[in-house]
């Protein structure tokens, strides 16, 4: 974090400063990293005692002090020999501190902020854009999927006076959640990737999801830029809700940043990238799955508006070998067995895209195996969407399906009801049972997709299979 006095921090978070028992005063400046996990504390760090679903960060404040924390942000004063800022809500305070830091750095005149949202592809796009921007200037981008009211501010707090680009991933937990993050970060560029059925059960349907994703662009200024997916009608409709200048990306004719001549394989996708300037280049994109080309286009569109040239854009895109841990992550290799571990998130859209990729990269004469678990948070749509994925797997002629867990069982039933298979689909209750089955049944040359929502835990099954065939 940039250097701020204790008084400035207390003012930023509307808190009450207590320095009793500490060697610091209100004018003392701290600049250490900010953490919500006491295990990550180092000398000079700031510890935010966040209450959790299972435990309370205040209980770990003594360990944070022992590890050298210089300041605690807490909801009640603790009997500890360290400076403390007491606030009504530490999560709100964390956001306020992050907003203050970004405002101060932005005032220096160099920092540009990009916000990224969408039902699918946020983390991949954030990683791609970060890889491009860091080629031309100091860049801060979220680690992993730091995209909620805690993770996004933690990313923002990593900026320094030298930071030129900040890329903030913004997820949604319901109406108003993205708007809250937008008001903290104040993006110069807002990217909306897609509107799909991910979290539709939480939001109350896809139209409510679209309204929530539109919060990314509704408060952008006329001097800002909205990067919108021209191929998604619900995203395209957001053009009427923003004052910002619009850059369209996609594969259709209305896109100004677009891809053509796509060719997908097990090593990635090659395509011709055309920028809004009219410049074009062939990109050898190593992230597995043709659907990730849209994320590359969004990153390229934002980067171009930030003044990055096409050579650096292409080099940045080509430098990224995987979307993220547990996202189309290629493992294995022994006996020609390839494991594609894509079990961090799953929605009907991402499940369909992953299955189509599996079918697309099939080597002649070799088998494809789909290990599928629950798609969570679909509400009343869950049954029919699991049915639809089972039918899609049949129609894509996937060689073998293993459905894992009771919540996903309808995928198995729908494949049987399709009537075109005879034993190609198997249902098991647990990931352990799936591992035992696959350990004994996988054949040399198989390509295996492991796909589910995070809650199903199949990402660990993917890791075990990757280790087995490494």
The helix-helix angle for 348-360 and 382-395 (nearest 10°) equals 10
Say how many C-beta atoms besides its own lie within 10 A of residue 52's C-beta.
9
Residue 3 assigned as binding residue: no
SS3 per residue for 128-172? HHHHHHCCCCCEEECCCCCCCCCHHHHHHCCCCCCCCEEEEECCC
Q: Is 338 known to sit in a ligand binding site? A: no
Nearest 5°: the CA angle 410, 413, 415 is 110
DSSP 11-22: HHTT-EEE-TTS
Is 451 marked as a binding-site residue?
no
CB atoms near residue 252 (< 10 Å) = 12
DSSP-assigned letter for residue 367: -
Question: Distance between CA atoms of 146 and 222, rounded to whole angstroms?
Answer: 28
Q: Is the Cβ–Cβ distance between 61 and 44 less than 8 Å?
A: no
Determine the Cα–Cα distance for residues 151 and 160; give it in Å rounded to an integer: 17
Q: Is 119 annotated as belonging to a binding site?
A: yes
**Residue with token string 């995928």:** 411
**Of 450, 402, 396, the residue nearest 418 (C-alpha):** 396
Choose among 400, 314, 310: nearest CA to 355: 400
Q: List the end-to-end C-alpha distance of the chain, in Å, as a whole number.
A: 40
Q: Residue 192: in which H helix or E strand, if any?
A: strand 189-192
Long-range contacts of 435-441, Cβ-Cβ distance < 8 Å, separation of 24 or more: 435/461, 435/464, 435/465, 437/402, 438/369, 438/371, 438/402, 438/465, 439/468, 441/400
Radius of gyration of the chain (CA): 24
Of 46, 129, 29, the residue nearest 84 (C-alpha): 46
445 appears as a binding residue in the annotation: no
229 is in an annotated binding site: no
Segment holding 293, helix H or strand E: helix 293-305
Query: Does the annotation place 242 within a ligand binding site?
Result: no
* Residues annotated in a binding site: 118-124
* Residues annotated in a binding site for ATP: 118-124
């Amino acid at each position: 974090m940039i250097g701020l006095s204790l008084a400035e921090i207390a003012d930023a978070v509307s808190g009450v400063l207590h320095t009793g028992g500490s060697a610091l005063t209100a004018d003392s400046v701290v600049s250490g990293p900010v953490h919500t996990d006491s295990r990550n504390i180092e000398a000079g760090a700031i510890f935010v005692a966040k209450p959790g679903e299972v435990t309370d960060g205040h209980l770990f404040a003594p360990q944070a002090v022992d590890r050298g924390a210089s300041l605690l942000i807490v909801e009640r004063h603790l009997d500890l020999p360290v400076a403390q800022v007491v606030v009504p809500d530490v999560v709100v305070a964390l956001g306020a501190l992050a907003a203050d830091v970004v405002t101060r750095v932005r005032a220096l005149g160099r920092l540009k902020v990009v916000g990224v949202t969408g039902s699918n592809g946020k983390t991949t796009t954030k990683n791609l854009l970060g890889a491009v921007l860091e080629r031309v200037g100091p860049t801060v981008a979220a680690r992993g999927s730091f995209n909620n009211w805690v993770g996004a501010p933690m990313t923002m707090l990593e900026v320094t006076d030298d930071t030129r680009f900040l890329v903030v991933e913004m997820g949604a937990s319901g109406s108003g959640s993205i708007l809250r993050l937008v008001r903290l970060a104040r993006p110069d560029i807002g990217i909306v990737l897609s509107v799909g059925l991910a979290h539709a059960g939480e939001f109350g349907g896809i139209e409510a999801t679209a309204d929530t994703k539109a919060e990314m662009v509704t408060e952008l200024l006329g001097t800002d830029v909205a990067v919108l997916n021209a191929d998604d009608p619900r995203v395209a409709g957001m053009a009427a809700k923003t004052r910002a200048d619009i850059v369209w990306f996609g594969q259709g004719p209305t896109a100004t940043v677009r891809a053509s001549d796509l060719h997908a394989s097990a090593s990635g996708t090659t395509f011709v990238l055309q920028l809004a300037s009219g410049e074009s280049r062939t990109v050898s994109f190593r992230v597995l799955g043709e659907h990730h080309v849209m994320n590359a286009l969004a990153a390229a569109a934002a980067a171009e508006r930030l003044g990055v040239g096409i050579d650096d854009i292409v080099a940045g895109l080509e430098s990224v070998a995987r979307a993220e841990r547990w996202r189309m992550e290629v493992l294995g290799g022994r006996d020609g067995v390839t494991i594609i571990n894509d079990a961090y998130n799953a929605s009907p859209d991402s499940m369909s895209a992953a299955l189509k990729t599996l079918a697309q990269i099939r080597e002649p004469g070799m088998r494809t195996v789909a290990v599928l678990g629950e798609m969570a948070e679909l509400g009343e749509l869950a049954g029919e969407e699991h049915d639809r994925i089972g039918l899609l797997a049949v129609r894509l002629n996937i060689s073998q399906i293993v459905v894992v867990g009771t919540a996903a069982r309808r995928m198995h039933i729908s494949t049987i009801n399709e009537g075109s298979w005879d034993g190609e689909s198997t249902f098991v209750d647990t990931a352990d049972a799936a591992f035992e089955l696959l350990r004994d049944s996988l054949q040399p040359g198989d390509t295996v997709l492991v796909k589910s929502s995070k809650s199903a835990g199949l990402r660990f099954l993917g890791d075990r299979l990757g280790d087995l065939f490494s």
